[in-house]
Amino acid sequence: MVYQAADARYDTMKYRRSGRSGLQLPAISLGIWWNFGGVDTLSNARAMLRKAFDLGVTHIDIANNYGPPPGSAEENFGQIFSSDLAPYRDELIVSSKAGYRMWPGPYGEWGSRKYLVASCDQSLKRCGLDYFDIFYSHRPDPDTPLEETMSALDYIVRSGRALYIGISSYTSEQTREASRILKSLGTPCLIHQPRYNMFDRRIEEWGLLDALSDEGIGCISFSPLDQGILTNKYIGAVPDGSRAAKHEWGDRLALDKLSKVSKLNVIARERNQNMAQMAIAWNLRHPEMTSALIGASKPEQIEDAVGALDNLDFSADELARVDDILNAD
């Protein structure tokens, strides 16, 4: 059956400008880190991408190493793009990244010009795209000069391989320096992708949001639900078959953390939200936050996440109560 996007796909989604750029992103973006790889079911991945676009989720975020195996998420996206989404290319923001190990030898990871350009070309081929809307340096390289990495990203844009560039997991100091270099090259940084959620607030400690505001760079957070911990499914027990059980993340699911989620859920219910929706809304409370990047294992989870946008406002009392719970010993 030929896919036809929902006519009402833009009726309820909220869009936010990325920094001081002209690009707007949906407040909820879909990351295909898990559940879109070669070990997963293609029909389910197709259903999730269709559902996302029907809800106005126009931004799909990938990376060269997503799978498993590495590269397979891009390949599966390419199949689904070709069959379903190609007619809507100009309505989509598709991003990919390079930084982690993809092939053997000294040129298969990190941030050299050799690796970044080669990896971008490989990713475009796997995705079946002529260009990426955003291409990221996935992580800072401690051994490659920042000037080389940023120059490679500038070249990727100037050569037509991408429209915008971004960085991921850079500190505030690295972000400011990267921004300086990119501005001098004439290709400003569009967006930063850090990890951020109620249990991981390092970007607040680093002053990263202040740096992004100063530099006019947008922000899209990954793991806003802490790999599913900040959802109702972990209240009371870890369900069989969940990602937490599958990947044995028991150290991250300590009883005190589960207890905090149960207490946070009380606030969520008062807000007429479930735990995941409140966690996403909490993530988006910052004016510097352009989008929350969610993962999903079924279409219903995407629809549920978009429901967070019905209530993004927090009272001072609610925020104080959240902090009290998170900071309790």
269, amino acid identity: R
d(CA 156, CA 163): 9
Q: Give me the pLDDT at residue 234, please.
A: 75
Q: Give me the pLDDT at residue 169, please.
A: 98
Burial 163-197 (b: 16+ CB within 10 A, else e): bbbbbbbbbbebbbebbebbeebebbbbbbbbebb
β-strand partners of 93: 59
Q: Give me the pLDDT at residue 176, please.
A: 98
Q: Which of 234, 240, 238 is nearest to 261 (CA)?
A: 234
**Cβ contact 166:190 at 8 Å:** yes
Task: Give the E-state strand segments of the chain in sequence order.
Answer: 15-17, 24-26, 28-31, 59-61, 93-98, 132-137, 162-168, 191-193, 218-222, 289-294
151, amino acid identity: S
298, amino acid identity: K
Q: Which of 293, 22, 286, 28 is nearest to 136 (CA)?
A: 293
3-state secondary structure of 9: coil
Q: Give me the pLDDT at residue 237, please.
A: 61
Q: Which two tokens stand for residue 310?
A: 């019905």
Walk along the chain (329 residues) and give the pLDDT tens digit of each residue: 799 999 999 999 999 999 999 999 999 999 999 999 999 999 999 999 999 999 999 999 999 999 999 999 999 999 999 999 999 999 999 999 999 999 999 999 999 999 999 999 999 999 999 999 999 999 999 999 999 999 999 999 999 999 999 999 999 999 999 999 999 999 999 999 999 999 999 999 999 999 999 999 999 999 999 989 999 987 866 555 555 555 454 555 567 788 899 999 999 999 999 999 999 999 999 999 999 999 999 999 999 999 999 999 999 999 999 999 999 98
Tokens 């931004």 belong to residue: 59
**Cβ contact 264:236 at 8 Å:** no
Task: Give the E-state strand segments of 108-174 in sequence order.
Answer: 132-137, 162-168
d(CA 199, CA 97): 25
Burial class (CB in 10 A: 0-12, 13-18, 19+), 206: middle
CA angle 295, 299, 301 (to 5 degrees): 55
| Domains along the sequence of the chain with CATH | 15-231+286-311 (3.20.20.100)
| Direct distance between the N- and C-terminal alpha carbons of the chain, in angstroms, rounded to an integer | 54
d(CA 28, CA 279): 12
Q: Which two tokens stand for residue 12?
A: 């309820």
